[in-house]
Structure 1
Amino acid sequence: MDGELPPASAPAPAPAPLSIHPAVTPLSFLLGTWRGKGEGGFPTINSFSYGEELHFSHSGKPVISYSQKTWKLDSKEPMHAESGYWRPKPDGTIEVVIAQSTGLVEVQKGTYNAEEKVIKLQSELVGNASKVKEISRVFKLVDGELSYVVQMATTLTSLQPHLKALLTKV
């Protein structure tokens, strides 16, 4: 018996798959992990490229958990991260809260079109930011790829393009 492993116990039964809450169903195409590349810039900074991963998950409640991380393409060094919650409503509106690794917090409201698979968000509040005053985000699913555009306004600029990316589900 020396060196032998003890007998394996019976595997635990797999948990039943969660049913998707009706409020989340119109946005269920987001669920899972998306990975790709993006480009950024702004009048006050140099342009840059980055790798990115978004993760959307669901616990059976009327909310989608969201997390995002980016990295430098050449060195893989982490650049940015954020996480939050998306609360779609049956009337086609959505409420989103996002906390960024920089300490900035966004409270956004917007709309979604389940048929066209488009989500448009506009900041209601940008907290803990000395310079950022407004953020908008538009997500679209086109030919199986998720694209987004982020615009930003600061104390020095009006709302202008800041980030854009194209992601594929992994």
Structure 2
Amino acid sequence: MDEEKENCTIHPAVAPLSYLLGRWRGEGEGGYPTINSFRYGEELHFSHSASGKPVIAYSQKTWNLNSGEPMHSETGYWRPKPDGSIEVVIAQSTGLAEVLKGTYNAEDKVIKLQSQVVANASKVREISRVFEMVNGELCYRVQMATNVTSLQPHLKAVLKKLS
């Protein structure tokens, strides 16, 4: 197999989530009982190398819609498995680290993640994330629980694919 073809090969475990691959951009809004509501711009990037590993690399960055100033970023890896389960690790720019497990439905294009570990967080104790395709757009919702609140809505966004 020549190198150019090899670089286009998607691992069979990644294939059901290949619709994620590329760059996504859009806007979101956040809030929580302990903070003021806010809006933000966002870009997600999902990539898969031809390393032969069943892994999707993930990165995210957000910015203030008015000033353009950076707000938040995170990076990590998504490991889908053939049985419809998925493992995700994410490191946030705030120093928080998440280990999430969940499921994906390739036909409905829905991914549901629940934190197993939230590390280096003085206040956050649980996170859930849901990603789904709706009319060709990638939508997500993040819920969070802290030491003083139960699991509640925190972030939601709608993103369009750039490439």
Q: Same fold (TM over 0.5)?
A: yes
2:8 counterpart SS class: coil
What is the identity, as a one-letter code, of the residue corresponding to 1:109? Answer: K
- 1:112 aligns with one of 104, 109, 116: 104
Q: Which runs of 5+ in 1 are unaligned?
A: 1-13
Shift of 1:143: 1.0
- 1:15 aligns with one of 4, 18, 21: 4
Aligned residue pairs, count? 157
Structure showing greater radius of gyration is: 1
1:15 counterpart SS class: helix
Q: Is 1:152 aligned to residue 144 of structure 2?
A: yes
- 2:48 aligns with one of 39, 55, 58: 58
Percent of residue pairs bearing the same amino acid type: 76
- TM-score, length-normalised on structure 2? 0.95
Q: Which runs of 5+ in 2 are unaligned?
A: none
Map 1:39-118 to 2 at 5 A: 39-60=29-50, 61-118=53-110
Which deviates more, 57-66 or 120-129? 57-66
Q: Matched residues in 2 for 1:86 and 1:27: separation? A: 10
CA deviation profile, 1:65-87 (whole Å, cap 9, x unmatched): 00000000011000000000000
- TM-score, length-normalised on structure 1? 0.91
Shift of 1:18: 2.3
Structure 1 stretches of 4+ with a deviation exceeding 6 A read none
What is the identity, as a one-letter code, of the residue corresponding to 1:158? Answer: S
RMSD: 0.9
